[in-house]
Structure 1
């Protein structure tokens, strides 16, 4: 069976950056399962998975535009230290939830200088090429429930 819409694909992956540093991997753990065609993985990888089958091993480079996007300057803000009331210690790399008119987003402290804190709401991998090494381990038809819910259900079903 080939990966196509309304199939569940399971795969092992190793994700590296342009320098070859490993950013994430399923090695030594469970493979990742996703419902194909609903945007459960980055678009460039989903396109590369189309038509693949069990046993396929391949490498793909996903551009920022087909991955986590290009950095959006509108998601970078400089706020006063006082905006972090109740937080004694701040450090670059710390993550917080910020409230926006569109809802909560995750932000990371990018810089702290002169009582001002620069926060970045871009995905940490925005602007980066994503190098995936893939091994497809399973492909099956999605259940009606999975298709209706838009995601994979685990063994024994999924309860909302």
Structure 2
């Protein structure tokens, strides 16, 4: 079977910054393979185009430019928020919440979760970087397809891989 719309794919991969000898950013190996339903809009479209049609046992390696991956860094994603939204009912900030470099989850106006990194804060406002952590990076992917199978009925209904133990991903 080949990687196609709604197939369940099990794979290994490495992601490196800039090229094949770049800094390792993430690895999924045979002990902890990556399993997902192909074609549901959860993966980078350019990434999916590169593995479409591959079969079990086939390897791959390709590079994605920032524009095909997580986009360019943008000053439009540097946000300021009033300090009071980070305070509890006693107008205190929980210890550890506002630490430089800490990622926090915000909800945008459409209800979507957005991860943002705390840059700085003062008595009035918090400055956050909502650029994706990999924005502006050229990414090199290499790995292998371990297995491709048809989805179960439950997976098709939910449009996602469901682990044998029933855990949905």
Q: TM-score, normalised by structure 1?
A: 0.83
Q: Which runs of 5+ in 1 are unaligned?
A: none
Contact 1:3 1:51 in 2 (8 A): yes
Mark the CA change 1:148 to 1:113 in structure 2 (over 3 Å): closer, same or farther: closer
Instruction: Decide whether the 8 Å contact of 1:34 with 1:41 is kept in 2.
Output: no
In structure 2, the partner of 1:123 is 132
Counterpart position of 2:158: 149
**Equivalent in the alignment of 1:98:** 106
CA RMSD of superposed structures (Å): 2.4
Q: Unpaired runs of 5+ in structure 2?
A: 88-92
Decide whether aligned partners of structure 1 residues 18 and 75 sit closer, same or farther in structure 2, where only a CA change above 3 A counts.
Answer: same
What CA distance in whole angstroms lies between the structure 2 residues aligned with 1:88 and 1:157?
36
Distance 1:29 1:143 in 2: 23
Cα distance, 1:47 vs structure 2: 0.8
Q: 1:99 to 1:10 in 2, by over 3 A?
A: closer
- Give the total of aligned pairs: 158
What TM-score, normalized to structure 2? 0.79
